[in-house]
Amino acid sequence: MIPLFDLTLHINGFPMKEAKAELRKIVAFSEKEHKAFVENKKQEIVEFHLQNNPFYKKLVGPKNSKNWNDLPILNKQNLQKPLSERLSKGYSAKNSYVNKTSGSSGDPFIFAKDKYCHALTWASNIYRFGWYGIDFNSSYQARFYGIPMDFIGNKKERFKDLLSHRFRFSIFDLSDANLEVFLKHFRTKKFDYINGYTSSIVLFAKFLQKRNIILSAICPTLKVCMVTSEMLFEDDKILLEKQFGIPIVNEYGASELDLIAFQNPNGEWQVNSETLFVEILDDNNQVVQNGTSGRIVITSLFNKAHPFIRYDIGDIGILDEKSTLKKPILKKLIGRTNDVAILPSGKRSPGLTFYYVTKSFIEDDGNVKEFIIQQTKIDCFEIKYVSETELNLAQIQKIKKAIELYLEPGLNFKFTRKEVLARSNRGKLKQFKSML
């Protein structure tokens, strides 16, 4: 009998049995075999997209596709066009996995993966979580994530949570009163692990610290906590370990790709070398030596539906000097932080809440190219955006309605259309910033 979680993926068309078998095979490669595997997959994925993807063929142009270093760097601005114009021949929204990035970098877009590629993503997750004795079919997850607020979207997500054996704590309201409710669930439910956004979990740990509570003392079934989506600072990790009484595992991923790096039981931030090829490049797109910082550029080795070849994810990182092709170690990740918005009611919402707000006006028509949101006063926010046309009254009303739904009524928003947005000296946009 297929376990429920695997069965759910199978029913949705993701060939998990085949993906798990392929991942086991890749993991077992020697260093020499792994090198041959990576070179073959790089060549294979480039050739496939040059033959089957007009978007990628146009991007490469007359360059020598046989020379890896001559291939263009794909960035998020390249992807600011309808998904239908970026899909490979034979792939559509109906026969692929389609989703939307969070837009935390300020450059949101819709992406696709073919179903085998997405099955490998799940196999990769299952493999790495298994390092800590977590089984997606049986382990009970305390999930610190956002959730759609509309009735149908909310019920759909709750149903997915049920099938995935997880209980979701909505992070849109992180006031003490709501964190008290979170705590009651930990007293009564037998959670095996925590998974979710770093800033929200850290706020919960600070709440526990104020009350002098160790979470594992009231929920002794807890084994481990995985944090994701935002940078985990060392002092926050120490706080989490102290207040939760369990190991804290740092995860770095991107929805359009896969898990990029996951802390292994030896405390190393091990890069995924099974489904991805990760490069660290300088400003001239040259590979830097291990131990030197540079732009993180990633190739998805299996995605045939949509090209992610030499894709600049928008982060800066350093590979450890002891890294090998089979076992790269991420020494440091730079610049993945999100502020917390403090609202007039006292409610606190993490910056990623704005993902759910901006979803309301990020349509796959390429109109809104980039945006940043700044909190200028306790009740005032400014949205600066780059688009081909001004947001119209109907779009603004839609945004305001979403803001009331996800944050609270009575907030004032100013919309400013810009030709370009100010970037950091590393070229990255910070989607949300509090000026308070």
Q: What string of DSSP letters covers 245-257?
A: -S-EEEEEEETTT
What would the pLDDT profile of 57-110 be if each residue is shown by its tens digit?
999 998 777 899 999 999 888 888 899 999 999 999 999 999 887 655 556 788
* Nearest residue to 124 (alpha-carbon basis) of 24, 3, 13: 24
How many C-beta neighbours within 10 Å does residue 386 have?
A: 19
**151-163 and 4-11 helices cross at what angle (nearest 10)?**
130
Over residues 409-415, the mean pLDDT reads 89
User: Of 368 and 223, which is predicted with more confidence?
Assistant: 223
- Confidence check: pLDDT of 215 > 70: yes
- Confidence check: pLDDT of 176 > 90: no
Q: Take residue 356 and report the two structure tokens written for it.
A: 């759910």
Q: Is residue 124 within 8 Å of 136, Cβ to Cβ?
A: no
Distances (CA, A) of 229 to 91, 252, 254: 29, 7, 8
* Nearest residue to 230 (alpha-carbon basis) of 203, 257, 198, 275: 198
Strand pairing of 340-342 and 368-377?
unpaired
Query: Which pLDDT value is given to residue 426?
Result: 33
Query: Which pLDDT value is given to residue 174?
Result: 77
Query: Which pLDDT value is given to residue 25?
Result: 97
Rounded to a whole number, what is the largest CA-CA distance in the chain? 64
Query: Which pLDDT value is given to residue 104?
Result: 54
Q: What is the DSSP letter of 208?
A: H
Distances (CA, A) of 325 to 27, 86, 278, 291: 12, 30, 9, 14
- Confidence check: pLDDT of 199 > 60: yes
From CA 60, how far away is CA 62, in angstroms rounded? 6
Over residues 240-251, the mean pLDDT reads 96
Q: Kindly state the percentage of the chain with pLDDT values over 70.
A: 89
- Confidence check: pLDDT of 363 > 70: no
Over residues 38-45, the mean pLDDT reads 97
> Model confidence at 428, in pLDDT bands (50, 70, 90)?
very low
Query: Which pLDDT value is given to residue 365?
Result: 46
> Model confidence at 369, in pLDDT bands (50, 70, 90)?
low
Over residues 17-21, the mean pLDDT reads 95
From CA 162, how far away is CA 168, in angstroms rounded? 10
* Nearest residue to 157 (alpha-carbon basis) of 166, 148, 169: 148
Query: Which pLDDT value is given to residue 177?
Result: 87
Over residues 250-263, the mean pLDDT reads 92
What would the pLDDT profile of 334-349 be if each residue is shown by its tens digit?
754 345 788 899 887 7
From CA 71, how far away is CA 287, in angstroms rounded? 13
Distances (CA, A) of 305 to 48, 91, 201, 341, 370: 10, 6, 35, 37, 24
User: Of 217 and 388, which is predicted with more confidence?
Assistant: 217
Query: Which pLDDT value is given to residue 337?
Result: 38
- Confidence check: pLDDT of 329 > 60: yes
- Confidence check: pLDDT of 435 > 50: yes
Over residues 354-373, the mean pLDDT reads 61
Q: Take residue 351 and report the two structure tokens written for it.
A: 């910056």
User: Of 254 and 181, which is predicted with more confidence?
Assistant: 181
From CA 70, how far away is CA 62, in angstroms rounded? 10
Query: Which pLDDT value is given to residue 364?
Result: 43
From CA 235, how far away is CA 218, in angstroms rounded? 23
Over residues 242-252, the mean pLDDT reads 96
* Nearest residue to 182 (alpha-carbon basis) of 154, 155, 211, 160: 211
Over residues 405-423, the mean pLDDT reads 82
Q: Kindly state the percentage of the chain with pLDDT values over 90.
A: 52
Average per-residue pLDDT for the chain: 86
Q: How far is CA 332 from the centre of its chain?
A: 17
Query: Which pLDDT value is given to residue 236?
Result: 85
From CA 365, how far away is CA 109, in angstroms rounded? 10
Q: How far is CA 237 from the centre of its chain?
A: 19
Distances (CA, A) of 379 to 360, 375, 408, 435: 20, 8, 10, 12
- Please report which helix (H) or strand (E) contains residue 368, including its range: strand 368-377
Task: Collect all residues with Cβ–Cβ distance below 8 Å to 88 and sequence separation of at least 6.
Answer: 48, 49, 52, 53, 304, 305, 306, 307
- Confidence check: pLDDT of 203 > 50: yes
Find which of 5-9, 141-145, 201-205 is predicted with most confidence, using mean pLDDT: 141-145
Over residues 352-368, the mean pLDDT reads 58
What would the pLDDT profile of 277-323 be if each residue is shown by its tens digit?
999 999 899 999 999 989 999 999 999 999 999 999 888 889 999 99
